[in-house]
Amino acid sequence: MTARISTLQLSTSSSIHADLLIRRINKLALAVVSIGALLFLLLPALIVIPMSFSESTSLRFPPEGFSFRWYIQVFSDPLWISAIKTSVVLALISSSLALILGSLAAYGLTRGTFKGRDLLQSNFISPLIIPAVILSVALYLALAFVGLLGSFAGLLIAHTILGVPYVVLIMSVAIRSFDSRIEQVAFTLGASWHTMLLRVLLPNLLPSALAAWIFAFVTSFDEVVVTKFIAGTYETVPKKMFNELVLQVNPVITALATVLIVISLILIAIVAKLNQKARANTSYV
């Protein structure tokens, strides 16, 4: 009897050790794969950033020498400055419009109980699913029909459409997480919808709204396919970078790409901080 118990204990102990060993191997494998994937994603940046400080007139890695000549050339070239101004103005206006329209749509889709709500929500999200080329052709035909093809207004409409899905997704989650009973209490105390929106809802959703605006801004600033189709003579930074690469591989591109990488990292950090604050506000509510 004692021998059987000892054998059973040894078998159980061996099983536990084997299970722990398998878990450790799985964790190690997951860590290796994750680090490998991260390095694969970071590899272009790790190559581009050093090349932007090269003295060579051609793209070479490792870079030859150290110089800021390509950064100076970017910010002293009137054509690049014009493209940067166009991209910034376009992104600022389109992301602001997307935030307003997308937030109103998100509120109606979240709080509404009308028929066809799911279909309408799918319609708002569709620009994220439809291939960029198909969306570009559709916008090309639509803007040509109304006479806005090649105009700044047409470009603004297109970029606003591209930014709205991100706002709808983020704001829908934020509004759904906000207790609707607080809105009802505000209405019960005599607040109008406008007062409730400005004094009750928006202050609590501000971090999520800023995060949604940043996503819409980045989407507009980085867009190249739709812009290439409908921008006409207007040059944005991505469009000019694409045109430059078609003509020649210029080290100026690496300098501008490095600037965009740094800006993207800063915006990602801001979004992460805003999401953390939004979760704190939601848990408090």
The answer to whether 72 touches 259, Cβ cutoff 8 Å, is no
Phi first, then psi, for residue 224 (nearest 5°) are -130, -35
The answer to whether 182 touches 285, Cβ cutoff 8 Å, is yes
Domain residue limits, the chain: 76-284
Residues 133-170 have pLDDT tens digits of 898 899 999 999 888 888 899 999 999 999 999 999 88
pTM score of the predicted model = 0.78
The H or E element that residue 259 is part of is helix 252-284
- Give counts: helices (H), strands (E), the chain: 12, 0
Residues 226-279 have pLDDT tens digits of 898 888 888 888 888 888 777 777 778 888 888 888 888 888 888 777 777 666
CA 195 vs CA 30, 202, 239, 248, 265: distances in Å: 51, 10, 43, 56, 36
CATH number belonging to domain 76-284: 1.10.3720.10
What is the per-residue pLDDT for 274?
73
